[in-house]
Structure 1
Amino acid sequence: MKKRTWIMIALMYAAVFLACFGVLHIMDQIMEPGGPVIAESSGTPGNGSPSEAVPAESRPVATPSAPALPQAEEDWKPVDHGYEGWKQQIAGAWTPPEEPQQPYRPPRLVLATDLHYQSAAADDGGKAFQEFVEHSDGKVVRYLTELLEAFLDEVIAERPSALVLSGDITMNGEKINHQELAQRLKRVQDAGIQVLIIPGNHDINNYDASVFFGDDRTPAETVDAREFYEIYREYGYDQAFSRDENSLSYAYALDERNWMLMLDSAQYDPVNRVEGRLKESTLAWMDGILAQAQEQGVFVLPVAHHNLLYQSRMYTTQCAMENNTEVIDLFQKYRLPLFFSGHLHVQRIRKHKAEPGVPDKEYGILEIVTDALSIPPCQYGFLEWKEDGSLEYATRAVDVSAWARAHGVENEDLLHFQDWSYRYIQKLISDQIGGVIRNLGDDIMKSMSGVYARVYMDYYAGRKIDQKAVRSSLGYQWWERNLPDSYLLREIEAMMADSDRDNNYYLWEGEP
């Protein structure tokens, strides 16, 4: 009985084994691809060597080979990508397309100087303020806020690479004026236009800082160099690639080909001075920047508040930097073509000559002085790099009237700003002449002041003055007859002598 039982168990196991084997064989047949496999012969069809069909059961079964294992653990490297077959099937689909190269756009700059900004909160329009205006040098003090807003609108519409403000940005360095100006400039920065600022002699530690309320002119809070940086740090200082440790000078890259050298020529430590000077340590820092630029083939444009050259027969002191010879030598060591400044309040263009008689075509650094934005005709400069490597400079007057119309302003002075500006200057001159001239009558006074005002405005604007036309005018003849030795007549002569050509346009076409 036991023997029969064991036989039955053995037969059952054998049946199970055979059943499993059969299932595996059937699965293998199912998994094999059907159809004949065509074996290529070395012969060509039609030449007696046709291809022959090979029965499926007689072809060798291809089995996938297992990947070879690394010989040692240190030979193993993880696979950092997935299946790549699709890359070959869809040509280029796996390679991100190259970004189209943007054509190079040369820089474009707006340059303005001597804003002498005055906050409306710094005065109440009273007696003290009126006296301040009457003794000014022609700044449109009562409309400085509106002038600034019109100017900033034009800058934003123009969309330059940067707005460069080269000093005397406030009336006399009042902290309230600095803070408000910085706030107003923010909308230019928010429009994607970098503002670049340096101080002038009016801006730091200025003992003339004042506010005007009622009958009193009261000393106002000023700023020192550290506070100036804190107020304007986002307007060039924190964006600079290099800063001078001993001044508020810095170097800013407009792009990979062009740098701005923003130079602090003001003297305010320990006390504020009108005269300008670059420190010896600043000159050493500049030398390093210029050497680096020369090595890299970078164009450098230097800007300072004070003048590099003696530019005026009328203003002969306190304008050119005290050590301008050293500065000129440094710039010419690296053959810089252009230098920009302000301070003079007069639009001037002049080339440095080592000595009289040097031909104009010979190399010498050329200085462009932009006239004060705060004095009629309220101009600024526009500098544009051209595709051929040249640089073009021209001035533009702020169109305050267009701004007033666009903003619904009803003030007639602003709606007819150019005409108001002339009458404003004429009245200032008349009032000042009144302190010199006695008993000439209103008509003669008006004629004389009108001549001075026209010459004055043309001179500040950098226009060519027709001396013959001026001298033949009735107003000039009144000057010669009544005040032949007056300093005011000497000023008329000096302004005309300086204005033998137009100073509002310049094209630099490359080094001679």
Structure 2
Amino acid sequence: MKRVAYFLFLASSLFLSSLNFMTAQTIKTKIGVISDLHYTHPSLIVEKGAALENYLSNDRKLLVESEAILKETVANLLEENVNIVLIPGDLTKDGEKVSHRGVAHLLKPLREKGIKILVIPGNHDINNPEAVRFHGDSTQQVETISDEEFGEIYTDYGYGNTISRDKHSLSYVSEPVDGLRILCLDACKYDQNTFVSLGDSHDECITGGALKPETVEWLRTEMQVARILGKQVLGMIHHNVIEHFAYQSVFATPYLVDDFTKVQQYFMEYGLNIIFTGHFHSSDIARVSNPYGQSLHEIETGSIVTYPCPYRIIDINGENMAIETKYIEHIDYPLPEGMDFQTYAAQQIERGFNEMLRGFIHEYYPTFHAYVPRWARSFVTIPHAEELTDIVMSHLSPSALNMLLAHYRGNENLLDRTSINKQELLQNLDDLIDDLAEATTGKMSALTKSVVHKLPIIKKVKASAISIWENVATPESVAANEYTGGKSQEQLAINDLKLQLRFSVPSEYESHYTHIHIQSKRQEHYAPQLSENKKN
């Protein structure tokens, strides 16, 4: 009976769509995109002290300044006269209920001007055991929210006026202007978070994301309906669905949705060709395509609380889309005398990067010996943590920091010192390997150097660095590797900050997938085999 009803619905929709095509008007609208607000309500900082300082020293985000930044962002969007605002997740520092209510309040001036605001959750936003307040040298847990409460708090920000809601996640479809639908996808794993206070062995907030099979079926139906009704569709999801640099799925696995290559092909098959993301805090645009000319652009927008604090302005005129990137230049917050906001934000990255690197080495130092091959343990001596830290820091800072800042900005390949910076980092990696070999193996260092330089993981690290500086997901040196997904991954640099795209009513292609196990033990990848039957 349900199947019969569904086909009757499609038949009636097809008739209505014929009327829609006859009366449809060209879509003309302006969209603002802001991501990863990480808003921290002032009440969470009861008293500044060691607890807050330790947190900030190992973080890249401007949390204390987050309210001033969000207020300035809202003011900028009002000046831009946008019609729609998209926020692809991580609205709060760590899912505190008071912070969520604060976000809803601070966004209210946009809504009062008639601007349609659509939000989705990020990995920080729901059921988070790290929701705390800072009180001098200690922290105390505060109330977080459930997925149901998320929908209630943001009733006026997408969830109260939907075309369709997915029953298995916080995904929904909205039509903020006639003819344009936004597919808002929730891939977060908040149902897997754990709490010591609830009897779990440890507190954990899952960073990674996955689309549930039921959600994939739901989005396929919604894309079919949009196609029949002649609606143009844009997507929004928190996690990346395309690699933005080589081996991102190896070195930054939680930033990609699970089975990302399969998800890419689903999106292209269903006719979704533009999707907005956040999560990584960088401004980057990546593209994949299939043999039938279908493509998918992922427009990743950096965090407003992480240098360079960007936001996007999207102008849509019919099938033409113009993407422009702008930045927060001023905030109502006391900065050091003579320092502008952009410099201030960059310094937080520098401080956070160095401390994160030091903290990582000290935290995982006890486990390093386990990575030494058994045959080498008799003559390998790992330096003390401080000595090891000094060796790593002397080689990777500032060259790795320069790469990180460039990636956050976007268009790394267009910087004045791109080629020099790339070569410096590669040379520093070689020097680091040599110095570590001498520090750990002494007289055996010559043999050790030769072996380590040829390790596959070292080659992947270098390929990843090259791809970031060249602003391509698959540099030519690794393009032939099966890992990259073959010809579907673009090998040309894309302008990350200013781009013209075309998008239209979705068309659907039928495809079949063959499971292929790739080297990575941490996740499985899928390669598509597309059929030659085109669906109209």
Length-normalised TM-score, structure 1 = 0.69
Letter matched to residue 164 of structure 2: S
Cα distance change on mapping 1:333 and 1:476 into 2, 3 Å: closer
Residue 213 to residue 286, structure 1, CA distance change in 2 (3 Å): same
Matched, 1:350 2:273: no
CA distance in 2, matches of 1:237, 1:498: 37
Distance 1:441 1:391, change over 3 A: closer
In 2, the alpha carbon distance for the partners of 1:216 and 1:182 equals: 28
Secondary structure class of the residue paired with 1:142: coil
Matched, 1:338 2:338: no
Mapped contact 1:302–1:338 kept (Cα < 8 A): yes
Instruction: Name the SS of the counterpart of 1:179 in structure 2.
Output: helix
Counterpart for residue 15 of structure 1: none
1:375 is matched with: 306
Letter in 2 for 1:455: M
How many Å apart are 1:510 and its aligned residue?
A: 4.8
Write out per-residue CA displacement over residues 361-391 of structure 1, whole angstroms, 9 at most, x where no aligned residue.
932222122122221001122221125x211
Summarize the alignment of residues 66-145 of structure 1 with structure 2, pairs less than 5 Å apart: 106-123=28-45, 124-136=47-59, 138-145=60-67
Partner of 1:234: 156
Once the two structures are overlaid, the 10-residue window that deviates more, 186-195 or 330-339, is: 330-339
1:43-74 Cα distance to aligned partner (Å, 9 max, x none): xxxxxxxxxxxxxxxxxxxxxxxxxxxxxxxx
Work out whether residues 26 and 317 of structure 2, in 8 Å CA contact, stay in contact via their aligned partners in 1.
no
C-alpha contact 1:459 1:496 (8 A) present in aligned 2: no
- Specify the code of the residue in structure 1 equivalent to 2:464: A
**Structure 2 CA distance for aligned equivalents of residues 378 and 505 of structure 1:** 16
CA gap 1:424/1:410 in 2 versus in 1, 3 angstroms: closer
1:468 to 414, 419, 424: 419
The CA deviation string for residues 326-346 of structure 1, in whole angstroms up to 9 with x for no partner, is 533432233222111112222
Contact 2:83 2:115 (C-alpha < 8 Å) held by counterparts: yes
Higher helix share: 2
Corresponding position of 1:507: 500
Separation (CA, whole Å) in 2 of partners of 1:260 and 1:341: 13
Shift of 1:433: 5.2
Which consecutive unaligned segments of at least 5 residues does structure 1 have?
A: 1-102
Q: TM-score, normalized by length of structure 2?
A: 0.66
> Residues 286 and 345 from structure 1, CA distance in 2 versus in 1: closer, same or farther, beyond 3 angstroms?
same
**Distance in 1 of aligned mates of 2:387 and 2:102:** 45
- Secondary structure of 1:396 counterpart: strand
Deviation at 1:214, TM superposition (A): 0.9
2:260 counterpart (300, 304, 324): 324
AA of the residue aligned to 2:225? Q
Return the index of the structure with the highest Cα Rg.
Answer: 1
Mapping for residues 170-185 of structure 1, pairs under 5 Å = 170-185=92-107
**2-structure distance, mates of 1:285, 1:476:** 46
C-alpha spacing 1:485/1:173, structure 2 compared with 1 (3 Å): farther
2:484 — aligned with what? none
Alignment match, 2:132: 210
Higher relative contact order (CA 8 A, sep 6+): 2
Deviation, structure 1 residue 257: 1.5
Quote how far apart the aligned CAs of 1:148 are: 0.9
Give the root-mean-square deviation of aligned CA atoms.
3.3
Alignment match, 1:452: 400
Q: What's 1:281 paired with?
A: 214
Deviations 1:77-109 (A, max 9, x none): xxxxxxxxxxxxxxxxxxxxxxxxxx9661211
Partner of 1:417: 341
- In structure 2, relative to structure 1, the CA distance for the partners of 1:266 and 1:464 (3 Å cut) is same
Q: Secondary structure at the match of 2:36?
A: coil
Q: Which amino acid aligns with 2:324?
A: A
Q: C-alpha separation between the residues in 2 aligned to 1:221 and 1:441?
A: 37
Aligned 1:254-333 pairs, distance under 5 A: 254-269=176-191, 271=193, 273-312=206-245, 313-314=247-248, 315-333=251-269
Percent sequence identity over aligned pairs:
25
Task: Report deviation, 1:503.
Answer: 1.9
Go from structure 1 to structure 2 and tell me whether the alpha carbon gap of 1:485 and 1:281 turns closer, same or farther (over 3 Å shift): farther
Letter paired with 1:305: H
Shift of 1:434: 5.4
Instruction: Quote the Cα distance in structure 2 between the aligned partners of 1:307 and 1:433.
Output: 24
Query: In structure 1, how many angstroms separate the alpha carbons of the residues matched to 2:259 and 2:355?
Result: 38
Q: Does the aligned pair in 1 maintain the 2:223–2:272 contact within 8 Å?
A: no
- Compute the displacement of 1:305 (Å): 0.8
- CA distance in structure 2 between the partners assigned to 1:432 and 1:273 by the alignment: 19
1:165–1:485 CA distance, 2 compared to 1 (3 A): farther
Q: Distance in 2 between matches of 1:207 and 1:410?
A: 31
Alignment correspondent of 1:396: 326
* Structure 2: distance between partners of 1:201 and 1:223: 13
> SS in structure 1 opposite 2:252?
coil
* Partner of residue 48, structure 1: none
